[in-house]
Every structure is written in structure tokens, then in C-alpha cells.
Chains A and B, each alone.
Chain A
């Protein structure tokens, strides 16, 4: 019983940390982008961003008012001792972190369209499971899905003959048409697969991969770099007010697809991409590798 409370406390702290501090990779990518700007507005805006991050840290408050809907992507070792209680513990931790941090109330129940007032509702927080065989550890990626940055997300199924060119066009059109209002510079996740659903899910997984890493497939990595370079030429800049670059990263994840379809999904994160990664061992010792520098 005590151990479950301990697990819950760890998760409450983890949720708070992720809402207050950017992950190290996003922080550094913004720093690098800020250094490249030389215009008056660009400098002013990055100045605001870093001032805000500093204040969030000193005051211990969520760095953006939109603390999002919580989404947990779990990689669960089959021998992790608390699997049976994990879902319930995550839900309790979400409620508690909402009170304590505090987080904004962002969950509206479907059909009644009423705010639940505690960030919990049907399938909220959203929880996705993967199994790690023969392991007694638990890995969780947490993503705070804000409204503004979720808005540009979309997926569709291209004809295979549209090819990778079709994917590039779809991404560029989406970022220019919808990304500008989503608090750039964005992190762009692109998923490729058979249908719109799997492509969309993979685009979220791509977004969970740290900025600065590349897909292990050299061709996918090549496409990531080319898309980032191309998008940067558009010069969307911080908060869409023009600048030297446009995006923090383009990350691609894929699944081998049906020969007759080419599904593509796009999910973006804003400058304030708040995600965290936590590793919890069976003795409940833990690390938060995404936020080594943040605390």
C-alpha cells in the first residue's frame, strides 16, 4: 500500500516538473535559435520566452497557462510489480497534480461538454501501452497536449504515387497554413504508415523523440534534415512574426505500409513543447532523463 502511494507521489512530482520546466533538449534548441536571430522583434520575443522560463522556475508555476490534456505513453516491463494498479495510480496522480501545481482544468466531457474540473474524464488522461518483455522497469513519456499546438494536427492517406514529395507538400502546407498560430518555433512530428490512424499515432511518437536526434534509418534522417532546412527558409520565426528559422526539428517515425496506400500524419509541438521521460525501477528508484538540468 505504501509503495503505491510512493509511486503516485513520484508521478505527481513528475507531472509538476514537466509543466514547470521545458525538457533540456527543447531548452537548448530554443537557445540556439535565439542566438541566430538578429531582428528587433525576434530578440524581443526570445527575450520574453527566456524571461518567462526563468520566472516559471523561480515561482514554481506552469510555464504556460495551457497545461494541456495529459497524455501518458507507457513502456511497461512485464515484470514491473505495479502494473495492475498503474492506470488507477496515474489517474489519481493527475487529479493531485492538478490541485497542487496547479494545472488548468482542461478536460471537457464529450456530449455534455462540461469541464470535469480535475483533468480526468473518459480516456483522459490518455494512456497508451507498449509492453517490454522480460523487464521489471517502467518507462513513461508524458506529453501535455495544449490546445493551440494540437490544432494544426492532421492526417490523411495519400496515393502511393504521390510519394515522399506528397508528404513534404502536405507538411509544408500544414505548417504555413496552421502552424503560424501554434506558438512557433514548432517541433514537427511526421508519421508514415498504412492508414490515417497509424500515421497519426506515429507522428505523436515522432514528437516524443528529443529535438536533435534523428531517425536511425539514414534516408528518413535525410528527409528530416531536408524538411527542416526547407521549412526554415520560409522564415516563420518566433511566434510567427518572421525570423531566420521556422522549426526546432522535424522528426519522422514510420511503419512499413500497404502498397496501395501512403498514410501520413502530422503532430506539432509549440515552442513550449512540454514532454518528459521517466524511468522507474521495480524498487521505485527513478530518473527523469528529460529534465536533468531543469531542477
Chain B
């Protein structure tokens, strides 16, 4: 199957036909933004000196090594997206970000934001941080270094960054919510069986 590659700046046409579960790759600009960055932007209204319109953000806290000529990406993997749930919808509205990448699902509020703004939430396989680092061609810059290495706003040029699995599409469908409903249903069945066999006490 051919790789589906999305290139920044991203317009609606590139992503509006994608469906939850689709696998895509990203080429272009990608910036890290997590807890502190979301709070600073959404709550305090402070913008970084980099236009996020049509760009992609990654919920991640990387390991970066300073070199003579700049920075080297050692290891970068997604962090739990849920933590940004309170702010993500506003973040998308305020910045025009088109793809939010992280790990695990996000909630109804973000799904609504993706629907209204035609944006995606995708997951990058959690923990696969060395593979991800090798897909970073260059660290172009960094802002908000005062947050420390994991929380800083790292601006990267990436090539075929992925696989990214669409977890919320531009219609607001939410893969993790659907899976969760399924897991809960199966949990009840599975429990019924296990519970029959764990009366270990003497009476």
C-alpha cells in the first residue's frame, strides 16, 4: 500500500477525507507543545514566535543534545494527549493548527474542536522514540526554553514522520472512544468468567 503523506502547510483538502484508523505520514514542520506550552498560549494568550497555522504539533518531551552547530534530536516520542484535553480545542482555534499528534485518545471537547476547525488528532506509536528521532531532519529552533528541555517548544523539520494513526477525524469521529466502549462491553463478559473461579477462601 502506498504511503499517504501529508505536507505542511496543511489545507483542508489534504485531510478532510481521512477517516479514523487511517495511517498517514507527515513531511514539513512539526513543533512540540505540551502541558506548559498549552497553558501559556491558551490561558495567558502568549504566542510563540512561530506561526502554527496549517502546522502540526506533537505532544512530546524530547531528549535533545546541544551540538556546536545547534541541536541534535536524540529521542522524541509522544506523551499522553489526555493531559491537554482542557486546552486543545481553544489551542486549535487560536492557532489554526491542523494536526495534533500524541499518544492515547482525546475527549469529546477536542473532537468537537477538530470537527469545527477541520483538524485531526493522530497517535504516534508511544515509546518509539528513537525511530521518531531519526525522522527529524533538523531542529530549526526552540522557544520557551525557560520551561526546561521536555516542555520547551521545539521547532523541527521532519520527513515522513509516522506512522500516524488518525484517532479523531475532521468529522469528529473518535477512535479511542469507540474502542473504549468496546473494551467496556468485553470487560463485563471477561469478568463474568474470571469471577466464577476466584473463590479461594475456605468457606
Contacts and interface: CB of A to CB of B under 8 A. Distances in A.
A71 to B, nearest CB: 18
B130 A59 contact: yes
Given A230-B194, A231-B190, A66 B179 contact: no
B71 interface: no
A132 interface: no
A103 B61 CA distance: 12
A240 B81 CA distance: 14
Given A181-B103, A234-B187, A44 B130 contact: no
A148 B190 contact: no
Contacts, number: 173
Contact of A102 (B61, B63, B125, B148): B63
Contact of B79 (A148, A163, A168, A219): A148
A102 B65 contact: yes
B53 interface: no
Contacts of A236: 183
**Residue with the highest number of chain A CB atoms closer than 10 Å, among B74, B79, B130:** B130
A interface majority secondary structure:
helix
B32 to A, nearest CB: 10
Nearest to B195: A165
Given A105-B150, A180-B176, A230-B193, A61 B79 contact: no
B187 A56 contact: no
A242 interface: yes
B79 A55 contact: no
Contact of B190 (A117, A180, A230, A271): A230
Given A66-B79, A165-B195, A233-B189, 12 more contacts: A56-B130, A62-B129, A64-B75, A67-B63, A104-B75, A163-B200, A164-B200, A165-B199, A173-B187, A176-B187, A183-B126, A230-B191
User: What 7 A-B pairs come out closest when comparing CB atoms?
Assistant: A181-B104, A65-B129, A183-B126, A230-B194, A52-B128, A233-B190, A65-B75
Interface of B: 21, 23, 60-63, 65, 74-77, 79-82, 103-105, 123, 125-131, 133-134, 148-150, 163, 165, 175-176, 179-180, 182-184, 186-187, 189-191, 193-195, 197-201
